[in-house]
Amino acid sequence: MSILIKNVLLDESIMDVLIQGENIAAIGPELNTEAATVIDGTDKAIVPSLINSHTHAAMTLLRGYADDMELHTWLNDHIWPMEHKLTRDDVYWGTRLACLEMIKTGTTFFCDMYWHMPAVIQAVEEMGLRAMLSSAFIDFGDPKKADKFKQRTTDFFNRQNTTSNRIQFALGPHAIYTVSRDSLVWLADFARERNLLVHIHLSETSREVDDCVAAHGRSPVRYLRDLGFLGPHVLAAHAIWLDDEEMDILAEHDVKIAHLPTSNLKLSSGSFPYRRLSSRGVCIGLGTDGCSSNNNLDMFEEMKFAALARKGLTGNPTAMPAADAWNCATANGARIFNLNGGRIAVGKIADCLLLDLNHPQLVPNYNLVSNIVYSANGDCVDTTICAGQILMHGRTVQGEQEIIREFKSRIAALLQR
Ligand SMILES: CSC[C@H]1O[C@@H](n2cnc3c(O)ncnc32)[C@H](O)[C@@H]1O
Ligand SMILES: [Zn+2]
């Protein structure tokens, strides 16, 4: 399968871009070649598609279900009781709706952590996206639950769960307050033996830090370091409440971070120390978190919130320039998940977007990155391509109506339980 995109804006120039198979095969001012599909790129810009570094996709099922409260009340009193009722089919349709929303807003890769993993895998396979899927682990300090999750994790990684090369798997210990010390050590060893990424919520609230100091005599980052948990394969979601030494520890261990500005603002979790981490060389990706703490999956909004929150919370308008927000959502995400993408160049994976340069929010076009971060939203995406497959063209995604219909019927059934 080949796609030729003619006369498209790439950086400052009008180019033709040829996609062959899953990769970008050629770029030039006028490519003299044939292709199975030809797209007119006039008045479109080609950019890399967006990388959502941390989400819980099926939480589309809980969009708007519990708002305007802090994390622990939100989780304990509202989200977890409701998640208890979710079936495999709920998660399947919740993830399909999430994938639809991501395709429509220009995201082609997401890092997920959720329940009912086979349902998530099936949804991602069918929707054509790429994903890193983290197998959830929560034992609440109960040895019986710990044994069950260890067995479930071992079985999961001993099976072939997919034949798709678009899907990778990670370990997903939820957080230090929901996973016992023994299990964290077990997971650290398991990750090293099998060369897996470990994805964990970390230092999200001041309460998490206070509770950790009370229980373990040290802060969350020091606790994980002392357990031998930290390393370049660790992805920490949030990482807000850090002192200088903890930032040094994260940098020394080359821990990766998913920054989740909307979730942090909505749950009033705290202010992310972007400059102090990035100046230490820590690789920071951007994510939405789930749809109950955001409440959507639009990474364009996320870039804007990231840049604006930094300025508002620090009083410094240079705190996170547009180019930094863009890099977090593209090249940094590619580095975290080991994707040969994050930019448009020959040999890179064909994960890209065509933005509609006639969309009112993209005119005039003095600076495309400025427009993308501060003006655009997901509606400015005309075409979404992942692994050389066109998932949306002219804002049409195949099967969209069926997904919305089935999703709504799952919600009706869920409310009867
Ligand atoms: C183990 S599956 C993932 C688990 O995480 C919950 N969750 C969603 N958002 C957050 C957050 O910001 N901090 C901590 N936990 C969160 C989600 O509801 C699932 O139960
Ligand atoms: Zn989360």
pLDDT score of 1: 86
Helices 322-329 and 299-314: crossing angle in degrees, nearest 10, is 140
**CA-proximal residue: ligand 1, atom 1 (nearest):** 136
* 291, part of any domain: yes
Residues near ion ligand 2 (Cβ under 5 Å): 289
Q: Are 72 and 205 in contact (CB under 8 A)?
A: yes
Pocket test of ligand 1: the residue of 75, 76, 135, 204 to mutate, having most ligand atoms within 8 Å of its CB, is 75
Tens-place pLDDT, residues 220-276: 999 999 999 999 999 999 999 999 999 999 999 999 999 999 999 999 999 999 999
Distance between first and last Cα of the chain: 46
Q: Are residues 221 and 157 in the same domain?
A: yes
Q: Domain tally for the chain?
A: 2
**How does the average pLDDT of the chain come out, rounded?**
98
Together in a domain, 57 and 33: no
Contact (Cβ atoms closer than 8 angstroms) between residue 277 and residue 244: no
pLDDT value of position 329: 98
Residues 377, 298 share a domain: no
- Domain region containing 139: 50-337
pLDDT tens digits for 84-112? 999 999 999 999 999 999 999 999 999 99
pLDDT digits (tens, 9 = 90+) for 30-40: 999 999 999 99
What is the mean predicted confidence (pLDDT) over 204-210? 98
Out of 313, 337, 361, a domain closes at 337
| Residue whose CA lies nearest to ligand 1 atom number 5 | 174
Determine whether the annotation assigns residue 208 to a binding site.
no
Residue 105 domain flag: yes
Residue partners of 167: CB distance under 8 A and separation at least 6: 121, 124, 125, 130, 131, 132, 133, 161
In Å, how far are 20, 45, 306, 356, 357 from 371, measured between CA atoms? 30, 12, 15, 12, 10
* Whether the CB of 79 sits within 6 Å of ligand 1: yes
Q: Is the CB of 319 under 6 A from ligand 1?
A: no
Judge if 249 and 387 occupy the same domain: no
Is 201 annotated in a binding site? The answer is: yes
Domain presence at residue 405: no
54 annotated as ligand-binding: yes
Measured in Å, residue 59 CA sits from the centre of ligand 1 at: 9
* Mean per-residue pLDDT, 297-325: 97
Specify whether 396 is located in the same domain as 385: yes
**Tens of pLDDT, residues 354-380:** 999 999 999 999 999 999 999 999 999
CATH classification at residue 373:
2.30.40.10
pLDDT at 266: 97
408 is a domain residue: no
Residues 79 and 25 in one domain: no
Residue 113's CATH number: 3.20.20.140
Ligand 1 centroid distance, CA of 79 (Å): 8
- The DSSP element (H or E) to which 352 belongs, if any, is strand 352-356
Please tell me whether 289 is known to bind a ligand. Answer: yes
Contact 2, 315 (CB under 8 A): no
Q: Is there a single domain that holds both residue 36 and residue 56?
A: no
Q: pTM score, two decimals?
A: 0.98
Q: Ligand 1 within 6 A of 208 CB?
A: no
214: in domain: yes
Residues 261 and 390 occupy one common structural domain: no
204 lines ligand 1 (CB under 6 A): yes
Domain shared by 26 and 133, yes or no: no
Clarify whether residues 276 and 354 are in a common domain.
Answer: no
Decide if 374 is inside a domain.
yes
Asked, for residue 257, whether it belongs to a domain, the answer is yes
Q: 55 and 43 share a domain?
A: no
67 and 204 in a common domain? yes
- What is the H or E stretch that residue 181 is in? helix 181-194
The pLDDT of 186-193, averaged and rounded, is: 98
Output the six-digit token pair for 19: 């996609």
Give percent above pLDDT 90 in the chain: 100
Checking ipTM against 0.95, whether it exceeds it is yes
